A and B are shown apart, each in its own frame.
Chain A
Amino acid sequence: MLSNHKLQVTLEEIKEISRIDLALYSDKGKLLASTYQSEEEMEDAIRFFADSMAESQMLSGCHFFKILIENELEYILLARASSEEAYMIGRLAACQVRNIVSAFREQFDRNSFMQNVVLGNMLVVDMYNKAKKLHIETAQRVVYIIEVSQKKDGVVMETVKNLFASTTRDFITEVDERSVILVKDVRDIETEDGLASLAEMIVANLQTEAMVQVRVGYGNRVDLLQDIARSYQEAKMALEVGNIFYVEENTISYANLGIGRLIYQIPISLCEMFLKEVFGEKVPDIFDEETTVTINKFFENNLNISETARQLYVHRNTLVYRLERIEKALGLDIRTFEDAMLFKIALMVISHMNYQKSSTEQEVEGENE
């Protein structure tokens, strides 16, 4: 809800311009904001005025005004003076408060509406009725999830909000402590490169302004409101798959997950079966630093022995010896395309299993705490 502090600031600003003291009460007579220290108890007068048919009234040397939001009495405003000028200022202040509260409430409703849409908490029928009421039009949208490495502070939210504040077509919301969700209207971003640039721009701004490590995952374009939840799930999956297979990337698109997308969806039991098939009963423990670096460099250079040896600063024969040692331990000759491919997939499967295992352990730890 709109804070009393904001209402207080508004009244003070009006007083600064008009020199008329103002006070704002709830419809039950509770003081919410005031520019002066009142000596009298106003509760009875407020209740009396609230029950009356009048929209404004002169009582105890003050002008009283009713403030209705969506035809419901919400506030009573007092202008402390009996002059004509005080009456006019009182009316203006009541109008100002009504508009601020309405705008804030609509924004609040829009955000909580989008939060429910993102999380898939709404029936499609309700979704469209509510969207119409909140003036949310149908548009092509993409959900971006901005994941912060530590628990986020206000600076992250503030920065993202300000980046997209000039348009009411985008929605910024949050559903947990470590991420911000941006539902972006992408009608004017035609290419996939444009979506990627936007993700990179968010990362760059947050790194510069909030000085935090962030990763941005984003889903596919969707046209219907009920599909926003799908784009959100895709963005979530992009981040998870990225955490396993593309750790060096700051922005990950669901549309470009490559083979990681397939491996991520394989059940653990199938993964175990596959590894057993490739390596036998036990995954060989040969992944020391030298072996890992050798294998990675060999793959980076498309299985080219001379180039790999050169880049590793070792003699060609040394590299061949290392590769033979790997073959002996693994039963796979990674110099051949077939075995190299099998080995690469097996490595990705191991990463996937390790990630799932550590996630489960973290969940258990969390539950125990």
Chain B
Amino acid sequence: MASLSLKNICKKYPNGFEAVKDFNLEIEDKEFIIFVGPSGCGKSTTLRMVAGLEEISSGELSIDGRVVNDVEPKDRDIAMVFQNYALYPHMTVFDNMAFGLKLRKVPKEEIKQKVEEAARILDLEKLLDRKPKALSGGQRQRVAMGRAIVREPKVFLMDEPLSNLDAKLRVQMRAEIASLHHRLGATIIYVTHDQTEAMTLGTRIVVLKDGIIMQVDSPQKLYNQPNNLFVAGFIGSPQMNFLDAVCKIEGDKVSLKVGENSIVLPPAKAKKLIDGRYNGKTVVIGIRPEDIDDSKVALEAHKDSVFNTKVTGYELLGSEVLLYYTINGTSMTAKVSSNTPARLGDPIKLAMDVNAMHVFDKETELTITH
């Protein structure tokens, strides 16, 4: 397997469109790295530049210390799995997996050994004689993976490999890919727009927007300590709630005024706003739905951040309930226990956990405190 280094990578098309801007990333050997972001953020373009299927406009790409900008894709020792990938309909699973090796004139015995090994890893041994139409969606996807595995590449590149599968199968395949990474000990770059996929699979996640890296971190850190409003809003489902507030600093005490309510920040968070001289400025409060509660304990514990509102939407998820409401004209969501007595149209008191609160600069959208 291999390490990768992307230094100041840019992709600019002749019409002036910049798909990727100054992309810097070090990927370690055996890492499972995820590129995530909305459609058009440059994640697939970056992946294709790594593969050599897209020219690098400027910057340097190295695999295992060797600069590969001018190396042909087939000589980069990589394998890819795409979402639109199709199996050869007239070939058996074995032949589908062997096809690429046959084209490369690999000896028959070696092909047999590699295909059988890949089939064992992917639990496809009993299906080797079947044709694609006799396979389920998940099995077909495993065969597609098998075609990449038999090449024994240094790096696997996967571009939304699960997006053509239904929700149930996606969850199942997600677990299989995670276990595959563990078994192969492979370096994997995985592109997705699905933040759940990113959070569950990656050892590190690269969040992209408009061709720029917004943050590179572990899933836990991205969730708990987002660098900016975009990452905070993109990671987490349901997404983080955002509220505009005016900052008021009185000595060591910092309060954030939302309509008639004032939220007093704990000292550690308050210090960041004092140091940043935010007195009188509008900031953005970020609070995750799971950090808003209507239980007695929460209302008691966070007396300074209790809001009176009305339930405008109620969704039972099983053990939890999503409550929709508005504060100061902004739509909000709370994820509370299903024991809540609140129902659609009820007046309700909700408390925000100030310790879990994030505050962002309204202008730069960067995090002030989390």
Could you tell me which A residues sit within 8 Å of B by CB distance?
Answer: 154-155, 158-159, 162-163, 165-166, 197, 200-201, 203-205, 207-213, 245, 247-248, 287, 292-293, 295-296, 310-311, 347, 351
Contacts and interface: CB of A to CB of B under 8 A. Distances in A.
A296 B74 CA distance: 34
Contacts of B72: 211
Given A209-B99, A247-B14, A293-B16, A163 B82 contact: no
B88 A207 contact: no
B103 A248 contact: no
Shortest beta-carbon contacts, A-B, top 9: A204-B82, A211-B73, A292-B16, A166-B90, A211-B74, A204-B84, A200-B84, A166-B89, A201-B84
A163 B51 contact: no
A196 B315 CA distance: 37
Interface string B194-221: 0000000000000000100000000000
A211 B148 CA distance: 12
A299 to B, nearest CB: 10
Interface in B323-370: 365
B15 A208 contact: no
27 contacts: A154-B103, A155-B103, A158-B103, A162-B90, A163-B86, A166-B89, A197-B84, A201-B84, A204-B85, A205-B85, A207-B48, A207-B51, A208-B79, A208-B82, A208-B148, A209-B99, A211-B51, A211-B72, A211-B73, A213-B53, A247-B13, A247-B14, A248-B13, A296-B16, A296-B17, A347-B15, A351-B14
Contacts of B86: 163, 201, 204-205
B91 interface: yes
Interface in B63-119: 72-74, 79-86, 88-91, 99-100, 103
Q: How large is the interface on B (under 10, 10 to 19, 20 to 34, 35 or more residues)?
A: 35 or more
A351 B85 contact: no
Given A163-B88, A245-B15, A247-B15, A208 B73 contact: no
B103 A209 contact: yes
Contacts of A351: 14-15
Nearest to B365: A310
Contact of B85 (A201, A245, A293): A201
A215 to B, nearest CB: 11
B13 A204 contact: no
In the complex, which of the residues A197, A245, A248 has the most CB atoms of chain B within 10 Å of its own CB atom? A248
| Most chain A C-beta atoms within 10 Å of own C-beta, residue among B19, B53, B82, B84 | B84
A293 B100 contact: no
